[in-house]
Chains A and B, each alone.
Chain A
Amino acid sequence: DAKTTQPPSMDCAEGRAANLPCNHSTISGNEYVYWYRQIHSQGPQYIIHGLKNNETNEMASLIITEDRKSSTLILPHATLRDTAVYYCIAAALFNSGGSNYKLTFGKGTLLTVNP
């Protein structure tokens, strides 16, 4: 699996956009970039994923650089409920035969949204 690097913590003002960076310089061509978040005492929540193109859904936008070595998760209008640990994961095929894939979580970024 490609290793991802994220800042350990970030702060954001309520109502402003939160931009969370992720570095995945060793990502391979068949690995998707997934973003999950985990609010205290809950399970990880899927946010968004992408391969090459930028993606947007009702929760967030994902911007992937052209060389795919880094990406940014954007929460357009952060609220207090967005305070969580955000995980960026490069999901790899488990073996060359493609029979399995798994998510390997890194340490993530603790995003604190302040009033």
Chain B
Amino acid sequence: DTEVTQTPKHLVMGMTNKKSLKCEQHMGHRAMYWYKQKAKKPPELMFVYSYEKLSINESVPSRFSPECPNSSLLNLHLHALQPEDSALYLCASSQGQGRRYSNQPQHFGDGTRLSIL
């Protein structure tokens, strides 16, 4: 069991659908992350939120729209996705961002496996 909870665990959607992935943590962490992991590849960073503000966007297409409503929740809104967007989407959290937190690990959820038809 992880302390970062992601829902749903699996999602199948068409290219015209709109859906959202959710992530929740109750560890008091102030930094949260979205990663994308294609099959047999390592995770790749998409977005970083620090104190509910977007601090890193790794040139992710606009069909992925992150949202951080509060310090415990992180959403990823999906719209008009392509078949190549099928992947495992991982959420992570850490105590914070910045030099003082660079020795604090990120804790991952078990991901949402997304399939685009």
Contacts and interface: CB of A to CB of B under 8 A. Distances in A.
Interface string A36-57: 1000011111100101000000
Contacts, number: 63
Contacts of B101: 101
B56 A94 contact: yes
A101 B102 contact: yes
A42 B6 CA distance: 11
Given A43-B2, A43-B109, A102 B103 contact: no
A44 B106 CA distance: 9
Provide the main secondary structure of the chain A interface.
loop
A98 B103 contact: no
A94 to B, nearest CB: 7
A29 to B, nearest CB: 12
Interface residues of B, number: 25
Contacts of A36: 108
Nearest to A43: B108
Interface residues of A, number: 27
Query: Looking at A32, A34, A101, A108, which has the most chain B CB atoms within 10 Å of its CB?
Result: A101
A62 interface: no
A99 B99 CA distance: 7
A46 B43 CA distance: 14
Contacts of A46: 105-108
B42 A107 contact: yes
Interface string A99-113: 111111111100000
A60 to B, nearest CB: 13
A30 interface: yes
Contact of A100 (B4, B48, B108, B109): B48
A20 interface: no
B70 interface: no
Nearest to B91: A43
A51 B102 CA distance: 11
A44 B105 CA distance: 11
Contacts of A99: 55, 97-98
Interface of B: 2, 4, 42-45, 48, 50, 55-56, 90, 92, 97-99, 101-103, 105-111
